[in-house]
Amino acid sequence: MGALTPTILMDLESRMEVLTENEYTRLTSNLWWQIITRTRTTTSRRDVLTWLLTTASIKSEGKGGNIAFDDLVAIYTELEVLAAGAGLRLRRFQLEDTDGNGIDLAAEWSAQIGAFMAYWPQQQVANFLMTAQNTGVFTGYDQLPFFANNHPVNPYDTGRGVFANLMTGAANSAFAGYPGALPIDDTVTADVALSNLSRLYSYIASIKMPNGVTPRFLRPKAIICSPRVFPRVTQIMGAKFLAQAAGSSAASADVEGFVKSMGYSMPVQADELAGFENDTTYFVACETIGTSRLGAVLYTQREPFHINYYGPQQQADLDRRDELEWHCKGRNAVSPGHPYLLFKVKGS
């Protein structure tokens, strides 16, 4: 290649843009993070989110005239977007010399960065799943770690009880039927795993609205698990019959209708969870009969990822450059949403 010209640079950048877009589109179709995440945009560096709590309910007036007035309450929480990005720097001679490999390097960087632009939210959401039990990492609007077993049903009225979105340790029937750890990996039989999913389903359905009376009508929609757990859950979710434990009156039981009724659907394999907590922890995403603009996890974008290209310029401007740089930049944040929409379930 001869001297670097504006035409050559424009052709190179056009190829880079195509590669970036193609790789972004290819990878986006194979991601799972949006199952549990709501994406929102903002025009501010800091946002104050308002969480309205459903505390209204109709009460008996007896013979009339004894009307009760509801106090509708809200909780406020703040989030701040952070910058993320990467860059490529090439020396001029890498593009002008035939053995400089500059064009190949630019093309490869564009493909890789396009893939990572698509993957970035999932990487952040996976980190959320693995760290949101820890104190001070992802604190929810009730000032507790997102995964906890003592979330107040109503943060303004602790007498309404608590609920858990962290299943671990021993069961405790005194604690609103808390089931404790519910393993479904290959350390237990398939029928025990199905029984544990049934117990989890029952507990999720028992969670109340902040008024302490009305059910939330939560229903499981997906199981997010590691590659080790994925085959077992696939087996259970697709089973027509499962062998019963020793001593059972039947050699196997028809479970197809039962499995469908629980609504877990097919599992989602999250490779990021490989080896996490001995491959025995999994996550259950839920949905409600109502709608919410704020889901279990929030991905807030202040500035979507983009690459700064040089674009059209004069030869004189280009001649002054000994190096060329391309920058990929974005501003975003992952933050906790509603804790009752996502459950962390441990094997012990």
What are the domain boundaries of the chain?
6-52+76-345
Task: Quote the tokens at residue 303.
Answer: 């500035």
178 closest CA partner among 158, 206, 155: 206
Q: Are 171 and 180 in contact (CB under 8 A)?
A: yes
Closest CA to 299 of 49, 26, 34: 34
Q: What pLDDT, on the 0 to 100 scale, is given for residue 121?
A: 96
Q: How far is CA 145 from the centre of its chain?
A: 16
- The whole-angstrom separation of Cα 79 and Cα 277 is 28
Q: What distance in Å separates the CA atoms of residue 185 and residue 147, rounded to the nearest whole number? A: 21
For residue 119, what is the enclosing H or E element? helix 102-131
Please name which of 193, 195, 198 lies closest in space to residue 232, comparing C-alpha atoms: 193
Predicted pLDDT at 291: 58
pLDDT tens digit at each of 348 positions of the chain? 567 888 888 889 999 999 999 999 988 877 999 999 999 999 888 887 776 666 554 555 555 545 544 555 677 778 889 999 999 999 988 888 877 688 899 999 999 999 999 999 999 999 999 999 999 999 998 899 999 999 998 887 778 889 999 999 999 876 778 999 999 999 999 889 999 999 999 999 999 988 888 898 999 999 999 999 999 999 888 876 776 554 444 446 677 777 888 888 778 999 999 999 999 999 999 998 765 667 899 999 999 999 999 877 778 778 778 889 999 999 999 999 999 999 999 999
- Please provide residue 320's backbone torsions phi and psi, each rounded to the nearest 5 degrees: -80, -5
Q: Is the dihedral of CA 2, 8, 12, 18 positive or negative?
A: negative
pLDDT of the residue at 71? 56
Q: What pLDDT does 130 receive?
A: 98
With both helix axes pointing from N to C terminus, report the angle between 190-205 and 230-237 in degrees, rounded to the nearest 10.
80
Closest by CA position to 83, among listed 260, 305, 235: 305
Length of the chain: 348
pLDDT of residue 274: 97
Fold type of domain 6-52+76-345: phage-related protein like fold (3.90.1690)
Block residue for tokens 């989602």: 268
